[in-house]
C-alpha cells in the first residue's frame, strides 16, 4: 500500500495508541514503532512526519529511552508530546530538569494560552484547557525554538522551531480533555507535514482485497468465526476477496445472546463461502453440567471449542491459510507478532496447532477497532453486527453465576435481550461501552399477584470505559432502569428481583466471573 505515512515513535506513554488513532482519524495512515527500532528501518518507511509519544521516564537519566539525534537531520517535521517534547529539547541542546514542587510540575486540566500565529495553532482559539501530566520541566529550550504556548506555571507549554518543522507540547493533545487537541494534531499533519489525507476505508478495503487475492492465489482459507466484530469483519473481507476458497467455522456453543447465532448466519448468506455452523449446545452443556467455578468454566469452554473446531477442520483436510481477526491494539500491546498470534485466540481458548495449515493470515492486523467497524460497514455487514459491544468468548457461561443449565441460559437470554432493547429505545446505547445482564445464584422471596414467589435475582451491569482496563459504572437514568426492571420481572419467568451494579473497575471487574 502506498499511503502517506506518519511514524509514531513510542517511548512508552500510556496514550501511544490514542495518538495513532487520532492521526488516522485525520485521514493519514500511521504506525506505532518502538523507539528502539533501528534508524535505517525507520527512514526506509519514508515518513512525511514523526510524532514522539510521551513516556514515564526522565530524559536526563542515562537509562531512559533516547533516539539517535540523526533523526533530526532528515528534514522531516517532528511533533514531540510530553516526554517526546522534553526529549527533543534535551537532544537539541536544551535543558530538562525535575520540576520543583511549587513551579512547573503540572497534572490534569490546565488553562493554556496559545500563539495562534504558530502553524500548530493556526485557526484555533488563543485560550483553552490542556491535559498536563509531567513532573519534569524544560529549564532551557534549544536554540532556534520559540515559546508558543504557556500556562500560569509553565512558560513553555508549547515550543516551536517553525523553520525546521519541530514542535513540542508538554500537554497531551490526543486526549479528549485537551480542547482542540485533535485540531492541533490535524494542523501538524496538514499545515506542517503537508499531508493530503489519503487514508480512507474505501481505499483500504480495495487495496486489502487485492493484496489478499495476491497472497492467497488459489489456496484454501479457514477461519474460526466467533460472531464478534473482529472475526466477522475478517470473514467479510476474506469472503469479498476469495469467496469460494474460504471456509468459516462458526461454533455455536449455545451460550450466545438471543438470536445471535442466526444473525451471524444471516449476515454471511450473501457471500458464496463455505459456512459451517456447528450447533454444539448440547455437548457444551453436558461438559459444563454441575461446574460452578469460573476458571473451570472458561477452561472447559476453551478446550471444547478447540475439539469442535478440530473435528470440523479435519473434515476439510489441509488448508493453506488459517485466518485470524487479530487487530492493531493486540499487535501494539504485545510488541511482537509472535505474542499477537497467541493473544488473538484467547477468545477461543488457544491456537489450534493441530490444524494442518501452511501460513497464518491476519487481514485486520493494522486496524484499530473503530476502523474495523468502518471496514465492516464498507463491506456491507449489518449494523447490529458491526457495532456489537464486546462479548466474552465463554459467553453467558460467565454471566450465569453458579452451575449452568439450559433453563438458566434461556432465562438470562430473555432478560438480557429486554435490557438491551430498552437501552436502545432510550437512546442510551451510544453512551455505554458495555451492558449486559447477570443471572445471580441468589433467590429471594417476592409477591406476584396474590402468590408468593421464590425466584432468582438478576443483576444489570453497564459501564463506560475507554479501554476496558478500567471502567466506571454507568449513570443510567432511573426511569430507564425502572422500565427495564418492570419489563423483566413481568416478562421473564423465574426472575422476581432486579439489582443494578454500582461498582467501578477496579475494584470490581466488568464481568462477574
Q: How far is the C-alpha of 424 from the C-alpha of 426, rounded, in Å?
A: 5
Q: How far is the C-alpha of 121 from the C-alpha of 197, rounded, in Å?
A: 19
Nearer to ligand XMP, 186 or 399 (CB): 399
**Of the candidate residues 3, 66, 177, 505, the single one contacting ligand XMP (CB under 6 A):** 505
**Of the candidate residues 337, 468, 475, 482, the single one contacting ligand XMP (CB under 6 A):** 468
Query: What residues numbered 302-361 form the site for ligand XMP, per CB under 6 A?
Result: 347
Catalytic residue among 174, 179, 312, 362: 174
Nearer to ligand XMP, 280 or 319 (CB): 280
- DSSP character for 474? -
Q: How far is the C-alpha of 511 from the C-alpha of 513, rounded, in Å?
A: 6
End-to-end alpha carbon distance in the chain: 43
Q: Which range binds ligand XMP by CB under 6 A, 51-59, 123-131, 166-174, 391-399?
A: 391-399
**Of the candidate residues 173, 261, 352, 394, the single one contacting ligand XMP (CB under 6 A):** 394
**Of the candidate residues 219, 294, 390, 402, the single one contacting ligand XMP (CB under 6 A):** 390
Whether 172 is catalytic: yes
3-class secondary-structure state, position 464: strand
Whether 248 is catalytic: no
Per-residue cell: 323: 485466518
Catalytic residue among 90, 134, 172, 253: 172
Site string for ligand XMP, 411-450 (x = CB under 6 A): -----------------------x----------------
| Cα–Cα nearest to 228, from 342, 310, 347, 343 | 347
CB of 505 to ligand XMP, least distance (A): 5
Per-residue cell: 205: 478495503
Per-residue cell: 123: 485557526
**Of the candidate residues 257, 297, 298, 420, the single one contacting ligand XMP (CB under 6 A):** 298
- DSSP character for 244? G
- Pairing of the two strands 5-10 and 29-34: parallel
Nearer to ligand XMP, 43 or 505 (CB): 505
Query: What residues numbered 130-189 form the site for ligand XMP, per CB under 6 A?
Result: none
Check: CB of residue 355 under 8 Å from CB of residue 308.
Answer: no
Burial class (CB in 10 A: 0-12, 13-18, 19+), 184: buried
CB of 132 to ligand XMP, least distance (A): 29
- DSSP character for 71? G
Q: How far is the C-alpha of 421 from the C-alpha of 326, rounded, in Å?
A: 30
Q: Which range binds ligand XMP by CB under 6 A, 86-94, 213-221, 478-486, 505-513?
A: 505-513
Whether 82 is catalytic: yes
Identify the residue whose cell numbers are 432468582. Answer: 456
Q: Which range binds ligand XMP by CB under 6 A, 82-90, 315-323, 387-395, 474-482?
A: 387-395
Nearer to ligand XMP, 433 or 453 (CB): 433
Check: CB of residue 10 under 8 Å from CB of residue 34.
Answer: yes
**Of the candidate residues 80, 352, 393, 395, the single one contacting ligand XMP (CB under 6 A):** 393
Catalytic residue among 30, 82, 154, 205: 82
Nearer to ligand XMP, 49 or 227 (CB): 227
Verify binding: residue 115, ligand XMP, rule CB under 6 A.
no
Check: CB of residue 99 under 8 Å from CB of residue 134.
Answer: yes
390 CB contacts (<8 Å, ≥6 apart)?
228, 434, 468
Q: How far is the C-alpha of 351 from the C-alpha of 342, rounded, in Å?
A: 6
CB of 301 to ligand XMP, least distance (A): 8
39 CB contacts (<8 Å, ≥6 apart)?
68, 70, 71
Count, residues near ligand XMP per rule CB under 6 A? 12
Nearer to ligand XMP, 217 or 506 (CB): 506
Catalytic residues: 82, 172, 174
* Chain contacts with ligand XMP (rule: CB under 6 A): 298, 347, 390, 392-394, 434, 468, 505, 509-511
Amino acid at each position: 500500500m502506498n499511503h502517506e505515512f506518519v511514524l509514531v515513535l513510542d517511548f512508552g506513554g500510556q496514550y501511544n495508541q490514542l495518538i495513532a488513532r487520532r492521526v488516522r482519524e485525520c485521514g493519514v495512515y500511521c504506525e506505532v514503532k518502538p523507539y528502539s527500532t533501528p534508524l535505517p528501518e525507520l527512514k526506509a518507511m519514508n515518513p512525511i512526519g514523526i510524532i514522539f509519544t510521551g513516556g514515564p521516564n526522565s530524559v536526563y537519566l542515562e537509562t531512559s529511552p533516547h533516539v539517535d539525534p540523526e533523526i533530526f537531520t532528515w528534514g522531516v517535521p517532528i511533533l514531540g508530546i510530553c516526554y517526546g517534547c522534553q526529549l527533543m529539547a534535551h537532544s537539541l541542546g536544551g535543558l530538562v530538569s525535575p520540576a520543583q514542587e511549587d513551579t512547573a510540575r503540572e497534572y490534569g486540566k490546565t488553562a493554556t494560552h496559545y500563539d495562534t500565529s504558530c502553524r500548530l495553532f493556526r485557526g484555533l482559539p488563543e485560550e483553552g484547557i490542556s491535559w498536563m501530566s509531567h513532573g519534569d520541566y524544560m529549564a532551557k529550550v534549544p536554540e532556534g525554538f520559540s515559546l508558543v504556548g504557556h500556562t500560569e506555571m509553565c512558560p513553555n507549554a508549547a515550543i516551536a522551531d517553525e523553520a525546521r518543522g519541530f514542535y513540542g507540547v508538554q500537554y497531551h493533545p490526543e486526549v479528549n480533555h485537551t480542547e482542540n487537541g485533535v485540531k492541533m494534531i490535524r494542523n501538524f499533519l496538514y499545515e506542517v507535514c503537508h499531508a493530503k489525507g489519503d487514508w480512507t476505508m474505501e481505499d483500504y478495503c480495495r487495496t486489502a482485497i487485492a493484496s489478499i487475492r495476491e497472497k492467497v492465489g488459489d489456496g484454501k482459507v479457514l477461519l474460526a468465526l466467533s460472531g464478534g466484530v473482529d472475526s466477522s469483519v475478517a470473514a467479510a473481507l476474506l469472503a469479498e476477496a476469495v469467496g469460494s476458497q474460504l471456509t468459516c467455522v462458526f461454533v455455536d456453543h449455545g451460550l450466545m445472546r438471543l438470536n445471535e447465532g442466526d444473525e451471524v448466519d444471516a449476515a454471511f448468506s450473501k457471500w458464496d463461502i463455505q459456512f459451517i455452523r456447528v450447533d454444539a449446545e448440547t455437548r457444551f452443556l453436558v461438559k459444563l453440567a454441575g461446574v460452578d467455578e469460573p476458571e473451570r468454566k472458561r477452561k472447559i469452554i476453551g478446550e471444547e471449542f478447540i475439539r469442535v473446531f478440530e473435528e470440523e477442520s479435519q473434515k476439510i483436510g489441509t488448508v493453506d491459510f488459517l485466518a485470524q481477526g487479530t487487530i492493531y491494539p493486540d499487535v501494539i500491546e504485545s510488541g511482537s507478532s509472535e505474542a499477537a498470534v497467541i493473544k488473538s485466540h484467547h477468545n477461543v481458548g488457544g491456537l489450534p496447532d493441530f490444524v494442518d495449515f501452511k501460513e497464518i493470515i491476519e487481514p485486520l492486523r493494522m486496524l484499530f477497532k473503530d476502523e474495523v467497524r468502518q471496514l465492516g460497514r464498507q463491506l456491507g455487514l449489518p449494523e447490529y453486527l458491526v457495532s456489537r459491544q464486546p462479548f466474552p468468548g465463554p459467553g453467558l457461561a460467565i454471566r450465569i453465576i453458579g452451575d449452568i443449565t439450559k433453563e438458566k441460559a434461556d432465562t438470562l437470554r430473555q432478560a438480557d435481550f429486554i435490557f438491551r432493547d430498552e437501552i436502545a429505545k432510550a437512546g442510551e446505547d451510544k453512551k455505554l461501552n458495555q451492558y449486559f445482564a447477570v443471572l445471580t445464584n441468589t433467590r429471594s422471596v417476592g409477591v406476584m399477584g396474590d402468590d408468593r414467589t421464590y425466584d432468582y435475582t438478576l443483576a444489570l451491569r453497564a459501564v463506560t470505559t475507554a479501554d476496558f482496563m478500567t471502567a466506571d459504572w454507568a449513570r443510567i437514568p432511573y426511569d430507564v432502569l425502572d422500565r427495564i426492571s418492570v419489563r423483566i420481572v413481568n416478562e421473564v419467568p423465574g426472575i422476581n428481583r432486579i439489582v443494578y451494579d454500582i461498582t467501578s473497575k477496579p475494584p470490581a471487574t466488568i464481568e462477574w466471573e
